[in-house]
Amino acid sequence: MTSTAAPLDLLLLPTWLVPVEPAGVVLKEHGLGIRDGCIAFIGPRAAALKLAAKEVRELPGMLLSPGLINAHGHAAMSLFRGLADDLPLMTWLEKHIWPAEAKWVDEAFVRDGTNLAIAEQLKGGITCFCDMYFYPKVASDCVHNSGMRAQIAMPILDFPIPGASSADEALRQAIELFGDLKHHPRIKIAFGPHAPYTVSDANLEKIRVIAEELDATIHMHVHETAFEVQQAVEQTGERPLARLGRLGLLGPRFQAVHMTQISEDDLALLVESNTSVIHCPESNLKLASGFCPVERLWQAGVNVAIGTDGAASNNDLDLLGETRTAAMLAKAVAGSATALDAHRALRMATLNGARAMGLESQIGSLEVGKAADMVAFDLSGLAQQPIYDPVSQLIYATGRDCVKHLWVAGKPLLDDRQLTRMDEQQLTATAIAWGQRISGHSE
């Protein structure tokens, strides 16, 4: 970098810098420079301090990493947090969640619920999230205004949903939204067929053709429970993943969410098609849906990212906590203490999520030329001492309350634990008011 280069907008000097790519690296006493929303410099502290910068920020005791990527959720469902706990998936869905959605979900619900979820995620170190919920245009507006990054999937089912009277209407809206936002720097529109048991072959074919034409991603719940797979086999003689393979949906643009049931044939299909799997361990644990064999997938070369799922089934949007659960669970499921070590777990929560969305050239690791989507974790507290491997401490000994600062495209969205663009008190009051209405305690 020569002295003729324009000054940096911001120079950060953390104690540890974890780029995620190359894998397993921890840089001590290094600096990271940002210019025009992108990473312009990474190098030793001494070299960094020689550069001209409009602002220099010391981050003592802090670990700077790529922003976390929450690869699956239903943001607005944060307003249903705790509404129907301790129930099996189909009872939870059919008896509680679907009726509640039919009654309450409108544009106002989606706006308020999405804003609540965005704020919670920013405070937890998440810079980008995948959303799949009704009224995606409203969710897109929330993301746009917040400064966050997101992939927003239009849900498509064979029956009417809030905001779309049919699958064709949902598809039309998705195509229109895709066109409107295709040049947006932080929002990517995807197609979200809900699950194999709610979408017909004919509608899946339509989605495949359109997604191919637009080079869009497809986000879908697949093999969430053993019951789902067993029912499909009994009714059609075919496993849901095999059906998706036959219909031509699988591929690098396809995100298979949950995948708790994986046979040898399923694994071969995932590998051969280069399909990404989105792992949601806590939602799967809470609904007793099963265990995704993460280490087996990883060793076979499948890209595995991580998601919280919605707050109605988790019940938080805490991706750091989710990653810790994922690392622990992977060891138990594989029967091996070396499965999914801390560095790979962090990669799953960052670069692998970016890869699943087709954004790995822009986000997911700290590399010169990529967007400056970053989070600073404060590891100076009592519960983090002593520090032998800061990444191990981050995954195994740190909670999301240690998130100190967060940037998306170089802009600070969280500064010293404070949201810079959102009113936390107002968001809390709005959520409480919704809770009173839904539980029937409002005036």
Give the pLDDT of residue 138. 98
Give the pLDDT of residue 440. 85
In 3D space, the residue among 230, 227, 170, 213 whose CA is nearest the CA of residue 194 turns out to be 170
CB 377 within 8 A of CB 297: no
Start-end of H helices in 61-133: 89-91, 98-104, 107-123
CA 67 – CA 23 distance, rounded (Å):
16
Burial category of 159 from C-beta neighbours within 10 Å (exposed 0-12, middle 13-18, buried 19 and up): exposed
Give the pLDDT of residue 399. 97
Average pLDDT over every residue of 282-287? 89
Alpha-carbon torsion 88, 89, 91, 93, what sign? positive
**How distant, in Å, are the alpha carbons of 129, 145, 276 from that of 309?**
10, 23, 16
Give the pLDDT of residue 2. 40
pLDDT greater than 90 at residue 134: yes
Q: Flag the least confident range among 58-62, 107-111, 283-287, 412-416.
A: 283-287
CA 355 – CA 370 distance, rounded (Å):
14
Fold for 10-67+366-409, please state it: Urease, subunit C; domain 1 (2.30.40)
Enter the CATH code of domain 68-356: 3.20.20.140
More confident residue, 123 or 1: 123
Mind listing the pLDDT tens digit for each residue in 340-391? 999 999 999 999 999 999 999 999 999 999 999 999 999 999 999 999 999 9
Average pLDDT over every residue of 177-184? 98
Give the pLDDT of residue 88. 85
Q: Flag the least confident range among 89-98, 136-145, 210-219, 270-279.
A: 89-98
More confident residue, 121 or 3: 121
Average pLDDT over every residue of 148-160? 97
Task: State if pTM tops 0.85.
Answer: yes
pLDDT greater than 80 at residue 270: yes
pLDDT greater than 80 at residue 244: yes
**How distant, in Å, are the alpha carbons of 191, 194, 197 from that of 102?**
22, 16, 19
Give the pLDDT of residue 5. 81
Give the pLDDT of residue 120. 98
CA 35 – CA 16 distance, rounded (Å):
21
CB 405 within 8 A of CB 415: yes
Give the pLDDT of residue 89. 83
CB 29 within 8 A of CB 42: no
Average pLDDT over every residue of 90-96? 90
pLDDT greater than 90 at residue 215: yes
What percent of the chain is modeled with pLDDT above 90?
A: 94
Confidence label for 443 from pLDDT (cuts 50, 70 and 90): very low
Which residue, chain included where needed, has tokens 């822009």?
Answer: 362
**How distant, in Å, are the alpha carbons of 31, 43, 232, 357 from that of 49?**
8, 10, 61, 35
pLDDT greater than 50 at residue 1: no
CA 264 – CA 267 distance, rounded (Å):
5
Average pLDDT over every residue of 13-18? 98
Average pLDDT over every residue of 65-92? 94
- Give the Cβ contact number of residue 397 at 10 Å: 15
Start-end of H helices in 20-135: 45-48, 89-91, 98-104, 107-123
pLDDT greater than 80 at residue 442: no
Give the pLDDT of residue 441. 66
Give the pLDDT of residue 4. 56
Give the pLDDT of residue 90. 85
Average pLDDT over every residue of 251-276? 98
Amino acid at 240: P
CA 165 – CA 152 distance, rounded (Å):
19
Average model confidence (pLDDT) across the chain: 96
Q: Flag the least confident range among 48-52, 202-206, 437-441.
A: 437-441
Mind listing the pLDDT tens digit for each residue in 189-205? 999 999 999 999 999 99
CA 14 – CA 30 distance, rounded (Å):
7
Q: Would you list the domain boundaries of the chain? A: 10-67+366-409, 68-356
Average pLDDT over every residue of 292-299? 96
pLDDT greater than 80 at residue 3: no
CB 277 within 8 A of CB 297: yes
Average pLDDT over every residue of 230-237? 96
CB 8 within 8 A of CB 35: yes
